[in-house]
Structure 1
Amino acid sequence: MRLDLIDLQLFLHIRDAGSITAGARRSHMTLASASERIRGLEDALGEPLLIRNRRGVVETPAGRTLAHHARLVTQQLEHLKGELSQYGNGVRGHVRLRANAAAVSEHLPEVLADFLVAHPLVSLDVHEHTSAEIAHGVRTGMCDIGVASDAADLQGLAVLPFRADRLVLIVPKDHPLADGPAARFADVLDEPFIGQAEQGAMAALLTHHARLAGKTLAYRVRLDSMDAICRMVGRGAGVAVVPEAAVRRMGRAAGIRRVRLIDAWTRRHVVLCVRDPDQLTLPARQMLDHLRAHAR
């Protein structure tokens, strides 16, 4: 049996992306070429690796086993590249990072930009997920570093502090709650909400707690940009729940008022999590050290 490293990396891209089309794009291949390579891999192994359906693909038990070992192989190769690159003109590599909505929008952009400037030969793959998905991704090797809420189940992972991350309610200046000291999330669920895009981690969090309160959020509009959400609230289109860091940055310009939420789940911290710091590739270790240096 002959396994090609390109095929292994392609399979991981398809598995992580959930479709052959997206996996082929990540691997810089045509769809036809990627499909042919996967068929050849399945023929060589004598087992189907993926189950195709209208939504994309899911791995079979054999595919799950292949993914586990393929990650070990690619991680060892990255370790080798990192160690050898120290004898060349700098460290080359690729770091995979998963982060929650607050981290992606408020805490990471400048920090990651500074890292890329300082390490011009390293590239980053950053994806937004819920904190539970981030923990799963770190445990299963789908990413090198996670930036998640400490409210998630992070058992078995190495966890390091990063940033405080309180969630607050924002309302227009003339809203009845604008001058109030605090509110409960359950008490504002009948308000018209401006929310994050449906696939976003913040949207999933708010939907979960609304359901626990026996209600459904009434979204007037969903947006990808935290800045756009703040500006629409400031114009009176609705209310929103956002990271406090966004209010500090946008509050005056957007014309919004911050209302403290007294729910325990809104008081949390963003943490860094990895499986084992000593097993990270050299670029990933540099990324982790850089993030720790910017913790506060």
Structure 2
Amino acid sequence: MSDLGNPYSFFARYSADLCLFLLVADCGQLSRAAELCGLSQPRLSQRMKSLEDSLGKPLLLRQRRGVALTRAGQDLRDAVEPHLREASAAFLRLQQRPKRRAVVIETDLALASFRLLPIFPALCADHDSLRLSLLSRQLPDREADGMADLTVRMEPRCADGPRVRCLFPERVVAVCSPGFKARHPQMRQLRDLLDLPLIDLTSVAVAPWFTWPRWLQHHGLSLSGSGDRLSFSSYDHVIQSAEEGLGIALGWRGLIDSRLAAGRLVPAFETEAESDQGYVLRMTAARPAAEVRAVFDWISLRLTGPEAAR
């Protein structure tokens, strides 16, 4: 089927040679034009001859010290140069558009799963000119600060400053499913926990957060008794196990509040333990870019301001 009715498919046959023709016309020399376009001079000369054959008229006058345009060559140049130059410039502008600035947020798996991932689509939508990444680890590594623009870590609480914001303190309550609490009416005092299944979060290093031994010690108890001990490496699994009625878990205020509000979890006891730790949001650079500060302010508002209650 002929493609004469389709101007693009027809023009595609000759567009490259037309661009080469304009380059030759600008240079006035086949050798210089061949060097610029990365072709051998014989190959470029062959391409020009093919273009002349397709039009049925000579375009170049070969001279001793270069080439000159024939009348037909000048007419062709006048006809196509403005349009091809405009198309070339437009393509170059599109190709050289600045890439989206990358902003990397590092935090632990628990905060990522329970607080950041639910709001991450909104964060991306409100900062669509940025390429946002969430880097989550069980224990964020300070030596990896160079990889992240922002960090959210459990660390000693401090006063808010230009590059740091305490999102919420570490306040921990023992939680279980409503069904588990109903099946264990003997839970009246904290020491009763010691004979019940306790679900803990394992860690490959010394955890900066409350563990069952530390939480019980805070209340003057030691981890002993006949109760089962379940351990998971993911806080997601810890909380899911508690929701399924497998035992009692430690619940961090600020992470599991929505589950308490929905009734999926209930406090086993109203007693809480609070440490001098908290989830702290930091900008790692001494002079953060405006884009990083915008993300810092957005997260601060969503996790501490009126938006946090939504």
Q: TM-score, normalised by structure 2?
A: 0.48
Q: Match of 2:164?
A: 159
1:243 maps to a residue whose letter is W
1:220 maps to a residue whose letter is L
Q: Match of 1:250?
A: 259
1:219 maps to a residue whose letter is R
Q: 1:233 aligns with which of 239, 242, 254?
A: 242
Q: Match of 1:39?
A: none
* 1:114 is the counterpart of 2:119: no
Q: Is the 8 A contact 1:234 1:254 kept in 2?
A: no
* 1:148 is the counterpart of 2:153: yes
Cα pair distance change 1:117/1:273, threshold 3 Å: same
Distance 2:200 2:243 in 1: 14
Q: For residues 108-132 of structure 1, give each alpha carbon's deviation from its aligned partner in whole angstroms, at most 9, with x where no partner exists.
A: 22333212122334131321344xx
Distance 2:121 2:174 in 1: 29
Q: SS of 1:279's equivalent? A: coil
What runs of 5+ residues in structure 1 fail to find an aligned partner? 1-87
What runs of 5+ residues in structure 2 fail to find an aligned partner? 1-95, 306-310
Q: Match of 2:14?
A: none
1:98 maps to a residue whose letter is E
Cα pair distance change 1:201/1:100, threshold 3 Å: farther
1:108 maps to a residue whose letter is L
* 1:263 is the counterpart of 2:268: no
Q: Match of 2:197?
A: 192
Deviation at 1:240, TM superposition (A): 0.5
Deviation at 1:222, TM superposition (A): 1.6
Question: Rg: which structure is higher?
Answer: 2
Q: Is the 8 A contact 1:97 1:145 kept in 2?
A: yes
Distance 2:277 2:183 in 1: 26
Q: Is the 8 A contact 1:102 1:243 kept in 2?
A: no
RMSD in angstroms over aligned alpha carbons?
A: 4.3
Distance 2:186 2:113 in 1: 24
Distance 2:205 2:262 in 1: 25
Q: Match of 1:292?
A: 300
Distance 1:178 1:288 in 2: 46
Q: TM-score, normalised by structure 1?
A: 0.50
Q: 2:291 aligns with which of 274, 280, 283?
A: 283
Q: Is the 8 A contact 1:102 1:165 kept in 2?
A: no
Deviation at 1:263, TM superposition (A): 2.8
Q: SS of 1:106's equivalent? A: helix
Q: Match of 1:103?
A: 111
Distance 1:94 1:104 in 2: 18
Q: Is the 8 A contact 1:95 1:124 kept in 2?
A: yes
Alignment length, in residue pairs?
199
Q: How does 1:30-179 map to 2 (within 5 A)?
A: 92-120=100-128, 121-130=130-139, 133=140, 136-137=142-143, 140-151=145-156, 158-163=163-168, 165-171=170-176, 172-174=180-182, 176=184
